[in-house]
Amino acid sequence: MSRTNQALALALIAQIIIGIFLFMPGDSDSGRAAGPLLAGFEPDKVTSVMIRDGNDNAVTLHKTDQDEWVLPDKDDYPAQNFRVQQLLNGLQRINRNRLIARNPSSHNRLGVGRDEYERLIEVELSEGGTRTVYLGTSAGGSAAHVRLGDEDSVYLTNELVSWEVPARLASYIDTAYFSVPREDILTLQIENPNGVFQLQKTGDAWTLVGLADGETFDPDSVTSLLGKVASVRMTEPLGKQADPAWSMDDPLVKITLTVRELVAAPEESEDTGAAASALDSLLPATATPVALEATPSPAQEGEAPSGDATEEPEPETVEKLYELKIGQKLEDNAYPVISSKSEFYVKVSASTAEAFLNLTRQDFLVAESEAEGESAPAEGTATPQAGATN
C-alpha cells in the first residue's frame, strides 16, 4: 500500500472514531428511556425558584407558608402566583422524546452550557434537594433546547422558550403601584423645587388656587396630570427600608390628593338579630324604639305612595387623603417613590417622576398672548350699537 493510501485509511479510521465518540451516550444518562425531563417533579413541592440569564440578570422567588410567592430580596414583595405556576407547569411538561445531542461539546453552541446559557433555572424542593435546568437557544419560534443540569443530553421542547422565562423582577409582579379612580380626585397639591401648586375641583371643573390678577388657568394642563397621578406604575420594588441617600424625609416632590371613596357597607351575619337584641337590652325601660315613633307612611294613611318612596338612598362617601413622595434620582436614572397606601418603596421611571418634578406655575396658565387673543374681538367683527333695532 502506498503512503498516500495509508494516510487516507488512517484519516478514515480517525473520522469513524470521532463520530462514535460524538454520538455515543454519556455515562450519566446512557440508556435513559423517553419520559419527563424532571422525573417525579411536582410543582406544588417547589419552595424556591431562581432564574438567571446570560447577562447576569437574576430573580429569586420564594413560597411562603400561605402558599403565596414573594420576592425575598425585596422584603417579601408579593409576586404574581400565576406567573410562577406557569413556569413550574412548563418544567413539569418537558419531555425527553426529541433528543438533539449527547456530547458536552454541543452545550455552548445550543445555549445550555454551564457558563454559556440563555436561562439557568434552579428549583428547590420541600423534601430537600435542588433541580437545575438549562434553557437554551430557540429552534424555531416555539421550541428551545433544554438540558438537565447533571446530564449531557440535550433535548428539544415546545413547553418553554427563553423569552417566556425572563430574569427580571418586573415580569413576576403587578407593576401597578398606586391607583385611584381619576374622576374621584377632588384636590391635588404638588410641591417641587419650583413651588407649591394647589388644584381644586368644583363640580366637573378644575382651577388653580390663588390665581393672580391677569392669570388665566389652562384647564387642559390638569388633564394629563390627573392621568399620571391616578395610575402610578413601578419598574420594580425596592423594599420596606429607605436608603438615606434617597432623602425621603425631604423629598424632591410631594404629591397630596383628596379622593372621594364609597363607604363599604357592613356585612350582614347571622349575629345581626342577636346584636339588635343586645342593643335593646341597653335601652332604659321607658325607651320607645324609633321605628314605633316614626310617622305613618302614606300607604298606612290610605294614600298612594309617592315616587320618592321607591328611590334608593344616595351611597355614602368619605374623602380620603393620600400622599406620594419622590426621592433623589438613582444611579440608573430612575427615582424612588413611597405611597401612603403602601409599606413598600418602589422604583419609577424618569419620565413618570419628572412629569411632577419639572412642573412650573406657567405650566398651569394660558399664555398671555393666547389670553389676549381670546378676550379681544376678532378683527372685522362689527360691534352692535346700543339701542339699535331692526
Q: pLDDT tens for residues 43-89?
A: 999 999 999 999 999 999 999 999 999 999 999 999 999 999 999 99
Q: Grade residue 278 by pLDDT with cuts at 50, 70 and 90.
A: very low
Half-sphere exposure of residue 294, counting CA atoms within 13 Å on the CB side?
8
- pLDDT tens for 103-159 read 999 999 999 999 999 999 999 999 999 999 999 999 877 899 999 999 999 999 999
- Give one DSSP letter per residue of 42-89, joined into a string: -GGGEEEEEEEETTS-EEEEEE-TTS-EEEGGGTSEEP-HHHHHHHHH
Question: How much of the chain exceeds pLDDT 70, in percent?
Answer: 74
- pLDDT tens for 306-315 read 555 567 777 8
Give the angle subtended at the CA of 71 by the CAs of 355 and 167, to the nearest 5°: 75
pTM: 0.74
pLDDT at residue 177 greater than cutoff 50: yes
pLDDT at residue 169 greater than cutoff 70: yes
Rounded to whole angstroms, the Cα distance separating 346 from 353 reads: 12
Q: What integer best gives the mean pLDDT of the chain?
A: 83
Average pLDDT over residues 357-374: 80
Rounded to whole angstroms, the Cα distance separating 110 from 120 reads: 13
Indicate the domain borders of the chain: 34-172, 176-263+317-374
